[in-house]
Structure 1
């Protein structure tokens, strides 16, 4: 397997810039996620790593070798698409062995490798069946088998579970991560599903409009989002935003909002202007003693928890609280926040204000 290094990668299609100055490193054996909404540049980035698109500028290194101008066939990678791209007139065995046979691998050696891959994927009993009669999950396993049978330097996957229903997609995500762990593979995986990225990835690049918004571990991206976009895109429900204007001094631990002081992480730098106070729904607490008040608008029961929508003087927010906590629409409640779980943003730039808690986490490529 191999390390992948991306330096100042850029891709233009005429006057449209699909990827702008992307730089990041994928460690050997890492499960790496490219995450973002449709049109953000994640698939274009993956296709450039694969050699299916040539970059306008920048460099791509695979296992220390500069490959940005090399054809896909010269990069020793395996690509798994969302649509299974199997040969319907062939059985499973022939589909998996096709890359080996096309490289003139002796048939006995190819059959041995196919049997090994089938055991890993749990599809030994399907080897002699036509792929046209298989379920979506089994066809995806066959597509994975055809990719891993060559033992390439890295695997590139473009939303490989997107065509599956929700329940089976979650099951296959677990299977795919377990397969990755067994093989110790370097895997680059494109998805628009933030839950899938958080569940499977060792590292995540979050992209928007061709630009890397944040790069890091799933927990860091969730707990300390670098931008308003990341804070809203990651999480379900997303982070709450309360907007206000004010001034902060370096070392400040509170902000004034609607004549009340609310806690924030210790600030590294002074700031003055329009700000956004960000807090995750699960970090909103109800408190009889708090002077910062909200009014319950709606309650959504989710079993062990409930989502409570509230109106506050500075905007609407949602709280995720235990379902045993009884609240009714129209009821006034006090709201309490833990400064260590709060994010502050400059509304104009959309960037997080640096604090002692997020210093070193706010990576933008």
Structure 2
């Protein structure tokens, strides 16, 4: 398998810039997610790594070799797309074996490698079946088998589960991650689904308008978002934002909301008075009768073991994730406290998070 290094990657289509100066490293054997909304540049980035698009500038290194201007055929990359792209006139065995047959691999080796892939994907019983009669999940397994049988340096997957229904997506995402753990194959996976990325990925790059906003582990990105976009995009419900005017001093461990001091992680940056945003995840909003910061309950949404309580406060509307047994009546005023070590502070003008004692080492784009 392979380590993949991306340096200052840029792609222009005429006057439109699809990818702007992306840099990150995909370690050997990682399950690496390219995450972002439609049109953010994630698929273009994947296609450049695979060699289906050549970059306008920048470098792509696979196992230390610069392949930036090499075509796909010279990169030893296997692709899996959302649309299965199977040969309908061939059965499962012939679809999987096709890449090997076209390369002139000896018949005995073809047979052995197809049998091995079928065992890994648990589709031995389907090898002689026509692909037209298969379910969506089984057809995706066949498409994966055709990629795996080549034993490439890396796999590129462009929303491979996007055409499946919700139940199949959940099953196949678990199977894909399990397959990766068994094979330890370097995998680059494009998705717009943040839950899928958090569930499956070792590392995540979050992209927006062609720019890498942040990269890191799922936990790092969830706990310490580098920008307002990441904080809003990751999490369900997403992070709450309390907007206020104020200044920040280096070494401070609180901010002032309408004269009330709210404890935060130690702040390592400094700024003159400007527009600020305090970010707090719903699970870190705590209802407390004694708290001086107050809000009015707008609605409650029961989720079984927990509930989402929507609260209107002076600096914005918040959502709190609370135990289902906690009583909160619509229209009542409640006190709110926040879990200080988990708070984030952003500059509203730039959208960037301030450095704090809690988020040191966070990788921005």
TM-score by length of 1: 0.99
Match of 1:219 in 2: 219
**Structure 1: runs of 5+ lacking an equivalent:** none
Match of 2:347 in 1: 346
Secondary structure (helix, strand or coil) at the match of 1:60 reads: strand
Distance 1:2 1:287 in 2: 52
Distance 2:25 2:270 in 1: 32
Distance 2:5 2:247 in 1: 41
* Distance apart, 1:339 and its partner CA: 1.2
* Distance apart, 1:364 and its partner CA: 2.1
1:68-83 aligned at under 5 Å gives the runs: 68-83=68-83
The answer to whether the aligner puts 1:329 opposite 2:330 as a matched pair is yes
Deviations 1:175-204 (A, max 9, x none): 001100111100000000000000011100
Secondary structure (helix, strand or coil) at the match of 2:364 reads: coil
Secondary structure (helix, strand or coil) at the match of 1:351 reads: coil
Distance 1:25 1:197 in 2: 17
1:239-254 aligned at under 5 Å gives the runs: 239-254=239-254
Match of 1:356 in 2: 357
Q: How many correspondences in the alignment?
A: 364
Distance 1:300 1:356 in 2: 34
**Structure 2: runs of 5+ lacking an equivalent:** none
Moved more, 140-149 or 160-169: 160-169
Match of 1:84 in 2: 84
Match of 1:283 in 2: 284
1:161-172 aligned at under 5 Å gives the runs: 161-172=161-172
Distance 1:165 1:172 in 2: 10
Match of 1:255 in 2: 255
Distance 1:105 1:135 in 2: 30
TM-score by length of 2: 0.99
Runs of 4 or more above 6 Å deviation: none
The answer to whether the aligner puts 1:128 opposite 2:136 as a matched pair is no
Distance 1:251 1:319 in 2: 29
Deviations 1:104-149 (A, max 9, x none): 1112211111011000000000000000100000000000000000
Match of 1:118 in 2: 118
1:167-182 aligned at under 5 Å gives the runs: 167-182=167-182
Match of 1:17 in 2: 17
Distance 2:63 2:29 in 1: 12
Distance 1:311 1:23 in 2: 40
Deviations 1:243-267 (A, max 9, x none): 0001121111111112211111100
Distance 1:313 1:3 in 2: 49
Match of 2:315 in 1: 314
Distance 1:264 1:168 in 2: 42
Deviations 1:301-337 (A, max 9, x none): 1111111000001110100101000111001100010
Match of 2:67 in 1: 67
Distance 1:43 1:336 in 2: 41
Secondary structure (helix, strand or coil) at the match of 1:45 reads: helix
Distance 2:135 2:353 in 1: 45
Question: How big is the alpha-carbon RMSD for the aligned residues of Structure 1 and Structure 2?
Answer: 0.7
Distance 2:269 2:254 in 1: 13
Distance 1:251 1:14 in 2: 47
Secondary structure (helix, strand or coil) at the match of 1:94 reads: helix
